[in-house]
């Protein structure tokens, strides 16, 4: 009998392939999560925008197709982008993809809605500048201090074939002027999915450095990072233009990419990301028996503390926590959990100093903290090779640890969100088993979904 790996409290369409979150916004009291979607197959051959909506960040309604590739300039794909409310209308910015004889043409496009459901395409608002190749995509809007607007766009320089971020300015959200190359890379062949916003007196820049084989025009490896910068809005100059150094990892797990944020009416900066970094073969095997593949992370609130970003589950998610789960203590230092439901919340707090952590979940996922090496690690059993893959980060001390486990994923928040590990897991059992050493106070609850 096959095990259902469809997620219970993560956003995931009924069919097809999901990837980047797009156009995150709260509009007229409703949360909108658009996403890249191939509704026909579980691969990347087709791209449109699908849509989920919610009033409370817990109960979601899947609305199906939102923006489809039906114009000459976006016929080969409605690619990633963002949204903003301007004069009570929802403005959608996206990359239209068109191919002529296998030659890519990217255009930054605009669609506007009065009701959040019907979108009128206004056409191309930005053509690729001559200094960039047609790897020019993922426009993300943010507001300036003077009731004006900026766009950051992921880019690749035409001459050197190296990554960059382009900056645009607008007074009305419809007419845009190129300002400058905001930042550049001398290492990565492309920069994808930039996001930029103010927190306090600092600007935060998200971006995804990507290694590419320029000759074959294929991506090889990429990841998500951020850095704190100062921006002169008048000139578009920032204090650190080097995208290769002085950045921080967004997430240390196996599956996290293309994060995007927005601010809601509670003044919270909320993030979603695509929970995948699988290669083609892993994708094929992971959802072989399912109608859909991939999901988004849980929504997370982003906070700036001690000049670092902290990520925490939005407080609404704690309303999903249900009955306590029985924790069986094997002795004073070991525990075991066997639970019928696979949706589980765990919190380990008041962790003793100078203690290692050694946990195992379903014989396919391991958690380890080595206090002598000051290293936190996760291990996942690779569903193709059956070998253990590892992800880790340096961590001077561990005070608390939260685990949110869905049908086929684990998100781990350490020290109130100082470090986060996000990973899909290939579930093999009906019940979930968790065991390890007790080195603090452990709380275990069902997640009611």
Please give the mean pLDDT across all residues of the chain. Answer: 96
Q: Say which residues have a Cβ less than 8 Å from residue 55's Cβ, sequence separation at least 6.
A: 29, 30, 31
Pure H helices in 131-279: none
What is the C-alpha R_g of the chain? 22
Half-sphere exposure of 322 (CA within 13 A, CB side): 10
Stronger pLDDT, 201 or 376, i.e. the higher one: 376
For the stretch 15-30, pLDDT in tens is 999 999 999 999 999 9
Question: What structural domains does the chain harbor?
Answer: 16-313 (2.115.10.20), 320-447 (2.60.120.560)
The pLDDT of residue 203 is 97
User: In whole angstroms, what is the distance from residue 11 CA to residue 75 CA?
Assistant: 26
The answer, yes or no, to whether residue 1 has pLDDT greater than 70, is: no
Alpha-carbon distance of 240 to 195, in angstroms, equals: 16
Report whether 184 contacts 242 (CB < 8 A). yes
Mean pLDDT of the 344-361 span: 95
Cβ atoms of residues 272 and 296 within 8 Å: yes
Torsion of CA 196, 200, 202, 203, to 10 degrees: 0
Pull the structure tokens for residue 57.
Answer: 């960040």
pLDDT of residue 354: 86
Looking at residue 4, its pLDDT comes to 85
pLDDT band at 226 (very low <50, low <70, confident <90, very high): very high
Q: What is the mean pLDDT of residues 32-47?
A: 97
d(CA 409, CA 378) in angstroms, rounded, equals: 13
Query: Is the sign of the CA dihedral 159, 160, 163, 165 positive or negative?
Result: negative
Mean predicted confidence (pLDDT) in 425-441: 93
pLDDT digits (tens, 9 = 90+) for 168-224: 999 999 999 999 999 999 999 999 999 999 998 899 999 999 999 999 999 999 999
Report which DSSP code applies to 147. Answer: S
pLDDT at 334 over 70: yes
Contact between 427 and 408 (Cβ < 8 Å) = yes
Judge whether residue 333 has pLDDT over 90.
no
Strand 300-305 and strand 60-67: the pairing is: unpaired
Mean pLDDT of the region 157-175: 97
CA distance 52 to 42: 19
**Whole-angstrom distance, CA of residue 359 vs CA of residue 376:** 12
Q: What is the pTM of this model?
A: 0.97
Q: What is the pLDDT, as a whole number, of residue 101? A: 82
Q: How is residue 251 written in tokens? A: 């997430």
Q: What is the pLDDT of residue 37?
A: 98
d(CA 134, CA 103): 9
Structure tokens belonging to residue 343: 């949706």
In the predicted model, what is the mean pLDDT of residues 317-321? 98
* Paired tokens of 291: 């109608």
Q: Is 2 helix (H, G, I), strand (E, B) or coil?
A: coil
């Amino acid at each position: 009998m096959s095990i259902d790996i469809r997620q219970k409290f993560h956003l995931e369409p009924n069919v097809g392939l999901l990837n980047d979150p797009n156009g995150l916004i709260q509009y007229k009291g409703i949360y909108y999560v658009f996403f890249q979607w191939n509704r026909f197959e579980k691969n990347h051959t087709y791209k449109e925008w699908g849509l989920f909506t919610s009033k409370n960040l817990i109960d979601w309604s899947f609305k199906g197709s939102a923006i489809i590739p039906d114009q000459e300039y976006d016929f080969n794909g409605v690619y990633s982008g963002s949204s903003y409310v301007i004069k009570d209308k929802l403005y959608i910015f996206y990359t239209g993809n068109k191919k002529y004889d296998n030659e890519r043409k990217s255009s930054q496009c605009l669609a506007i809605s009065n009701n959040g459901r019907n979108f009128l395409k206004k056409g191309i608002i930005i053509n690729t500048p001559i200094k960039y190749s047609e790897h020019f995509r993922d426009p993300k809007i943010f507001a300036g201090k003077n009731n004006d607007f900026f766009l950051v766009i992921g880019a690749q320089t035409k001459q050197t074939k190296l990554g960059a971020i382009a900056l645009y300015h607008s007074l009305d959200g419809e007419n845009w002027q190129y300002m400058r190359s905001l930042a550049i890379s001398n290492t990565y062949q492309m920069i994808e999915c930039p996001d930029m916003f103010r927190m306090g007196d600092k600007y935060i820049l998200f971006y995804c450095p990507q290694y590419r084989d320029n000759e074959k025009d294929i991506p090889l490896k990429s990841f998500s990072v951020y850095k704190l910068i100062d921006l002169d809005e008048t000139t578009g100059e920032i204090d650190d233009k080097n995208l290769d150094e002085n950045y921080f990892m967004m997430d240390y797990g196996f599956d996290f990419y293309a994060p995007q944020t927005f601010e809601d009416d509670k003044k919270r900066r909320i993030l979603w990301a695509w929970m995948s970094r699988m290669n083609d073969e892993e994708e094929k095997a992971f959802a072989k028996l399912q109608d859909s593949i991939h999901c988004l992370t849980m929504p997370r609130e982003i906070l700036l503390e001690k000049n670092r970003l902290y990520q925490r589950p939005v407080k609404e998610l704690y309303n999903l926590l249900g009955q306590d789960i029985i924790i069986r203590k094997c002795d004073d230092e070991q525990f075991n959990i066997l639970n019928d439901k696979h949706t589980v919340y765990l919190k380990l707090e008041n962790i003793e100093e100078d203690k290692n952590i050694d946990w195992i979940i379903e014989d396919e996922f391991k958690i380890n903290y080595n206090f002598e090496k000051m290293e936190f690690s996760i291990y996942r059993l690779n569903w193709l090779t059956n070998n253990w893959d590892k992800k880790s980060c340096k961590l001077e001390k561990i005070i608390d640890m939260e685990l949110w486990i869905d049908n086929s994923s684990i998100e781990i928040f350490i020290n109130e969100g100082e470090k986060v590990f996000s990973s899909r897991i290939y579930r093999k059992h009906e019940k979930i088993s968790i065991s390890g050493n007790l080195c603090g106070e452990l709380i275990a609850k069902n997640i009611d979904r």
